[in-house]
Structure 1
Amino acid sequence: MNVLIVEDEELSAERLRNLIRNIDPTIHVLGIIPSVFETIAYLQNRANTQPDLIFLDIHLEDDNGFKIIENQDPMIPVIFTTAFDDYLLRAFRVNSVDYLLKPINPLELQASLNKFRKIRTNGLQQHEEASPEKYKDRFLVTAGARIFTFKTAEIAYFTIEERATFLRLFDGRHFAVEYSLEKLSQMLDPAEFFRINRTMLLSLHAIREMHAISAGKLKIDLHPAAGQETYVSSERMTEFKNWLGK
């Protein structure tokens, strides 16, 4: 595997190269490039060995790293490496493999490389050709003597409150449901819903903003807002990043 490191901080670049070598000595680092201009020039020159994967810092010495992605054709898979969490949602919108915050954790780096290998080996075609599973697309709920039915697409998230399970709609209303979060995780499309911690299962479309509190802690602002601050549990962090990047 050939990888390219795009990083303008020499110490960070060398540390990343050493981490990659320690994880897998067979990975060949083609080079370290500090700027957007030089990276675009390298990739456009077909005489150069093209990388299978790019490790890309966002704040470079001459411009924003997203400019490199905008100039790519075809798109080369990217793992973002940055000290800032400001661009997390934008990074996943461009279909990046992963988003690693500095200082890079070796275990998270290894997980990102494993994810890339899995994507590279299996390819998207296998996923598309697989027989589609049938997931629940409607819920029936009661409130007193009244009965309501809602499409799954109307649901922002499910929560556990005082040992009962509730769903909250995007319009803010909430109702009790008879299922556990464990059961709901099996009933709902995993491309749309993810259980971020012990008490919440949320829709991708309920995520308004995300804030990296630390390397292993992520705070999520929801729409509609939850009654308290919402965090991704540390044991689900890597899987959550993978889910966002699908």
Structure 2
Amino acid sequence: MNVVIIEDEDRTARQLERLLNRYDPTIRVLLQLPSIKKAVDWFSQQQHPPVDLVFMDIHLEDGLAFGIFEQIKFNLPVIFTTAYDEYMLKAFKVNSIDYLLKPVDYEELVAAMEKFKTLRNQPAMPDLNALLAFMQQPQSASYKERFMISIGTRIHSVEVADIAYFYSEEKATFLITKNGQLLPLEFSLDQLSGQLNPAHFFRVNRQFIVARNAIQSIHAYSAGKLKLDLQPASRHEVFVSMSRLSEFKDWLGR
């Protein structure tokens, strides 16, 4: 069986590949595609190996994965992966094979693969109209209010309201509190995106999620980029990525 993984986080893609190999060592992951553009380019080629199944993250580095279906004819069965809370997954379950909540659980992967095998002769297309209509509806979402963090024998309770920003570095994730405390997290930024209230937090690039009230100043930079000064100050320069610039401006104006 040939599989393509559309996922912008290498660590998540590697973990998914390990789980697939555990389920069936004969499964061949052809490649990982991190963006809408690269997925559209690859699947638009006249010659590429046959694909039996696609695992697709919803949030990619250049937008929502549904943009792939809007640009090319895509008739392959899809198992979506997402960091959304489980109550949203049930609403999303339309005509795709399945949805898996990140971090992907092995037993849930097995169930999804067995479902795929059952439906293999009748590959299901995602009902994009239903998906997009649901995403545009106001949702009474339940977001994280605190994080419980274990360091050695101590457990730290951190209110989300006290967090200035999150960042990733060398495959690790950290939060910075408003008073400058740095604490490690077991979540990836992709997972955090579905747990934080988007009215207060925004993922400005692949490395940073920032709180609105942590942005001290914004500077115009070369090539239309924006540079952020955060409080507390970050030891890394923080830029708003080009793919998120328009959305970031809209977010600031709300």
Q: What TM-score comes out, normalization by structure 1 length?
A: 0.47
Given the two structures, how large is their TM-score scaled by the length of structure 2? 0.46
